[in-house]
Amino acid sequence: MLDSETLQESRADGDEWLERCQYWQAAHDAAMPTRKRRERQSAPLILTGHGLSIRVDRGALMIRDGLTHFPQERRAHRFFKGGLDIPPRIVIVDGSGEITLDALDWLETQDTPLIRLRWDGRIQSVTGKPQYASDPEKVARQRQTRANEAARTAFGANLIRQKIEGTLENLETCFPVSDLRGRAMACAEEALAILESSPPQTVSELIGLEGKVSRAYFRTWRTTPIRWKARDLNAVPQDWLTYQSRSALRAKKVPSNRRATHPVNAMLNYAYGMLEIRTRIAIIADGYDPTIGIVHGDMRTDRDTFVFDKMEPGRPEADRRVLKMIAEGSFSAADFTVSQMGTVKVSPELARLIAT
């Protein structure tokens, strides 16, 4: 049997889960644009949870959203053929439930695609007409921007400016005063001034400017102490006691960020992975093609490069979450696992905290 303390902890966890579900549900509702009476719906309908239902009742499409927490009032949507309130796309994020053949036929006659995404935001299936998850007009704009160097650079400059502003905020609030911090702040401020007064003329120049700021920024991370529980000081590699590089220092091949060999980089990679998932879902829901990158388009053709474009402004916030954990806690060897090839991964409970 469960003791009283365990039961109290379980109830507390349930209350917190309910509170956070309600919080994010309210945030989603607040972000939805208001549709005028004679205006066609422009926002997609996003569904998730367990027990979803999509069917036709007396000629109208009936949708019941899934359950994500308890207690919860199940939301229902009713759409009539030709209605201006019919969403341009219906997106199911993970979830489970049922859909009837009549509902699939209804969606096809209304030119409304039904897009199902996996938990990581990748497309699992597209049904209805058109059988394409993206909005052709938005994809055309992506391609036009991608084909014009000046438009590419202007698009990227806005994202990079937001990223550098977030980076500067981190430098000001998350690091102790030091020469490295001072040089990184000066570098970020100079880059912002350049973007304002004489912005780069090519994507290559823009990436070079951002890279300079990024290198100075991550050098500042060396000033952040990493605390380990006393019993684990001899149980972890020497290079885990400090932070030196964003790259995998002990990798056998060319150093990269992908296969972390340091706990801090493992936490950063997980935080960026969560950001990537959220960004991919938002891009697909908004009707863009995640594979048509604008800034990153010429770097990797086998990845969702537009996702990496749109992620840039969110990276400093992900960094901030990891920096806060480093500043406020001490780590144990049990918080991480190491593969035979030396790749470091975070434990499930630590991963849950990073994703919170």
Numbered residues of the known binding site: 210, 296, 312
Structure tokens at 158: 């806005």
Integer Cα distance of 221 and 174 in angstroms: 10
| CA–CA–CA angle 317, 320, 321 (5° rounding) | 95
Q: Residues marked as binding for Mn(2+)?
A: 210, 296, 312
State how far the Cα of 346 lies from the Cα of 268, in Å rounded to an integer: 10
Hunting for tokens 């030091």 — which residue is that? 178
